Each structure stands twice: as C-alpha cells, then as structure tokens.
C-alpha cells in the first residue's frame, strides 16, 4: 500500500521518536521489545516500562570496556537493570560524565546468550539519532498491542537492518549562486537524503571540468571551529584555506558534510570535550562515550561527488582514511593536497593524537 511508510521511512520515524524520548517497538523473529533511548528517559516512562517486564540496558562494547564489564555480544553488551535502579543510575551507566566522581557503578550483570539483535538495532538507532549509544529495552509479547494502542512506531528488525546500513540516495534539491569572499564565482548546492537525515552542502567554485580531477575538500562540520573560531581544532582555518585555494585555482568543490564531531553529533562532541578536560585524548574520549574513533560515513561524500559528475579529485586532506574511503567508493584520488593550517598551543595535543592514533599526515 503506497500510503504506508516504507522501511527507510519507518527507521527515520523511529530515530525521531528516540530523539524525543518516545518509546518504539522492535520486532524480530525471536520476539518483540519496547525500547527507549537511555539519554532522555523520564522517570514516568521507566516506571511504565518496568511494569511490562525485566528492564535491560544495552550499551556498546566500547562503553562496557570503560565500565570494566563483560560484553558477550561482540560489539554490544546487555546489562540487567536492577529493580531498584533509577533513571539516574541508567544514565550514569550510559554516560561518562560522572565516571571520575563515581568510578564504581557496578557490579553489572551482563546477559549472555539469547538474541541480541533488537538490542543491537536499538543502539544503531540511538547512534543515528546522535544520542548517547545506549537504550533500555523490555521484552514483552504485549509490545505490538501497545504499539497499536499508543501509536508507537514498529521497526521490523530483520527487514529494516539492511536499510540501516545502506546509504540513502541524495538529491541536489536546489543550487544557487553565492558570491564568496574566497571567490565571487561561488555556487551552493543543497543535497537532501531520502531518509529524512541531515542535509549536506556542496560549494562549487567556478566551473570545474567534470572530465579532469577537481580540486576538492570533504569538510566535516565543526560548529565550534567553523563558526566560533575554536582553538581546540584546526577546522576553521582548514575550511577557509581550502576555499581560498579553490578561489586562487579558479575552480574546486568543497563538500560541507553534516557529520559533526566525526559523526557523533553536537551534544556528544561537547561530552567528548568535557572528557578531554579530564585528561583523555580525542580518541579515548570517543571510546569512553561508547563510540568508535570515527563514526563518519564517507560514502556520503563520494555519492555527492558522483551526483555532481565528478569522478577524480585532487583531495585537500591530511587524513589517509578519507583517501582510502574515496578510492573504495570509486572516486580516483589523483593527488593529495596537504592542508596544514591553524596549529596553535590549544590544539597541538589534538593534532599529535590524530597523527599518532589515526595516521594523519602532518
């Protein structure tokens, strides 16, 4: 029935529900669960969930590692939530904010065996909602009735999983001339994904030849560096140096990708910064939050380049992973153009960590 939401639309709806703190229902071959994000859990909803059955907290293995708790489900762990647990207990397990003040949060009872697919799907959804990667779930045979009674979104896990891994098609919705300080021949394109996800931008300078390598930069959004001149990173100077270089060159394309905080979102990036103030480096901070070093999906950048008709690039980057991801996606990287600007006393440790742990060429 064409009026019914498609699987990608159901996933987008579930993501929005989790962001608001609304429960969703996850249905798989082995059962049904009601799930809610740990980050915005309310006491009322916790009490309602607990009345349905045993509450389980699903977190990533990265976060479990910080908590020194075993993770028996590869990249995730499932903890039994004690009957006496409050939402504060759950959120303290999910979030590292209070780790220094209260390092001993356990003992944790990790679940082993059984099906963890609904838990895994819930974590994927919280990540794509740019929340802390943690969800609470209650398995109950009443879940579908509850969904019908309360209008909850039902996600069929096995059918939806391939779409969670798939890149949604992106479309050039509109483009218009925008004269820039770096070049009066600027044009801004807005790319919108089909899945209700964030829009990305392409800044085209001049009229780059589609049959020759284009001077290109894939810039991941950094609201602190790009907008406010934060000295904690080198993003702002890199953004402006790249545009200036394209202006001097007469042509180029800068993709401004909405992948804030290496894909973990604004709030989580600020959580990572708070951890860095406690002495953790940029990679350790991501891990303590439950994320991998880099959660960005560079297929987006490659897809936009292809959509614009580009097949080969002279890529302005210091990040070898970006080059590798482009090549994997069929974009030929003819040359790497180094972009070494914006070093200062506040970001020297950050840049050194990127060189040491992420292989950045500095």
Ligand X SMILES: Nc1nc2c(ncn2[C@@H]2O[C@H](COP(=O)(O)OP(=O)(O)OP(=O)(O)O)[C@@H](O)[C@H]2O)c(=O)[nH]1
Q: 78 phi and psi, to 5 degrees?
A: -120, 120
264 binds ligand X (CB under 6 A): yes
How long is the chain?
362
Of ligand X, Zn ion, none, which one sits near residue 261, judging by CB under 5 to 8 A according to partner kind? ligand X
Task: Name the phi and psi angles at 91, rounded to 5.
Answer: -70, -30
Candidates 87-95, 235-243, 274-282, 300-308; binding stretch for Zn ion (CB under 5 A) = 235-243
> Which of 62, 120, 296, 325 is the catalytic position?
296
Which two structure tokens, joined as six digits, stand for 4? 């019914």
Any known ligand binding at 218? yes
Examine the residue annotation and report whether 296 is marked as an active-site residue of this protein: yes
Among 22, 85, 90, 235, binds Zn ion (CB under 5 A): 235
322 binds, among ligand X, Zn ion, none (CB under 5 to 8 A by kind): ligand X
Rounded to a whole number of angstroms, the minimum distance from the CB of residue 272 to ligand X is: 4
Residue 187 annotated in active site:
no
Assign 3-class secondary structure to 45-91: HHHHHHCCCCEEEEEEHHHHHHCCCCCCECCEEEEECCCCCCHHHHH
CB of 62 to ligand X, least distance (A): 13
Task: Please tell me the distance from the alpha carbon of residue 150 to that of residue 259, in angstroms, as a whole number.
Answer: 33
Measure the CA–CA gap between 204 and 208, rounded to whole angstroms: 8
Quick check: 235 binds ligand X (CB under 6 A)? yes
Residues 188 and 221: their CA atoms lie apart, in Å, by 15
Contacts of ligand X in 292-351 (CB under 6 A):
317-319, 322
The footprint of ligand X on this chain (CB under 6 A) covers a number of residues equal to 22
Establish whether 322 is an annotated binding residue. yes
181 exposure class (CB count in 10 Å sphere: 0-12, 13-18, 19+): exposed
The answer to whether 260 is annotated as binding is: yes
Alpha-carbon distance values, 327 to 208, 302, 308, 321, 330 (Å): 20, 9, 17, 10, 5
From the list 73, 139, 226, 294, the catalytic residue is 294
Task: Enumerate the known binding-site residues for GTP.
Answer: 217-221, 238, 260-262, 282, 317, 322
The residues that touch ligand X, with contacts defined as CB under 6 A, are 219-222, 233, 235, 238, 259-262, 264, 269, 272, 282, 286, 317-319, 322, 354, 360
Q: Which residues are annotated as a binding site for Zn(2+)?
A: 222, 233, 235
Kindly list the catalytic residues: 294, 296
List of residues contacting Zn ion (CB under 5 A): 222, 225, 233, 235
């Amino acid at each position: 029935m064409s009026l019914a939401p498609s699987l990608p639309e159901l996933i987008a709806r579930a993501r929005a529900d989790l962001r608001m703190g609304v429960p969703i229902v996850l249905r798989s071959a082995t059962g049904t669960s009601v799930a809610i994000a740990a980050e915005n859990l309310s006491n009322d909803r916790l009490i309602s969930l607990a009345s349905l059955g045993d509450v389980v907290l699903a977190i990533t293995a990265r976060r479990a590692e910080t908590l020194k708790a075993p993770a028996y489900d590869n990249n995730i762990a499932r903890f039994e939530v004690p009957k006496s647990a409050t939402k504060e207990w759950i959120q303290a397990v999910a979030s590292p904010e209070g780790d220094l003040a209260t390092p001993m949060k356990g003992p944790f009872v990790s679940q082993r065996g059984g099906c963890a697919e609904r838990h895994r799907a819930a974590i994927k959804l919280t990540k794509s909602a740019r929340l802390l990667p943690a969800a609470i779930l209650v398995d109950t045979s009443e879940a579908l009735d509850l969904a019908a009674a309360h209008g909850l979104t039902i996600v069929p896990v096995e059918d939806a999983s391939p779409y969670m891994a798939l890149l949604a098609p992106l479309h050039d919705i509109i483009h218009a001339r925008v004269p820039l300080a770096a070049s009066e021949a600027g044009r801004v394109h807005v790319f919108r994904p089909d899945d209700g996800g964030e829009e990305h931008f392409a800044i085209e300078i001049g009229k780059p030849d589609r049959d020759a390598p284009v001077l290109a930069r894939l810039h991941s959004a950094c609201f602190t560096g790009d907008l406010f001149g934060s000295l904690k990173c080198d993003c702002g100077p890199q953004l402006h140096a790249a545009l200036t270089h394209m202006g001097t060159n007469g042509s180029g394309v800068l993709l401004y990708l909405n992948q804030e905080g290496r894909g973990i979102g604004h709030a989580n990036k600020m959580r990572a910064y708070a951890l860095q103030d406690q002495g953790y480096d940029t990679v350790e901070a991501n891990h303590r939050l439950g994320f991998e070093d880099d959660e960005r999906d560079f297929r987006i950048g490659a897809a936009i380049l292809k959509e614009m008709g580009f097949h080969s690039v002279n890529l302005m980057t210091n990040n070898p992973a970006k080059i590798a991801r482009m090549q994997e996606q069929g974009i030929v990287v003819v040359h790497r153009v180094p972009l070494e600007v914006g070093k200062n006393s506040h970001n020297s440790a950050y840049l050194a960590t990127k060189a040491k742990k992420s292989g950045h060429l500095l």
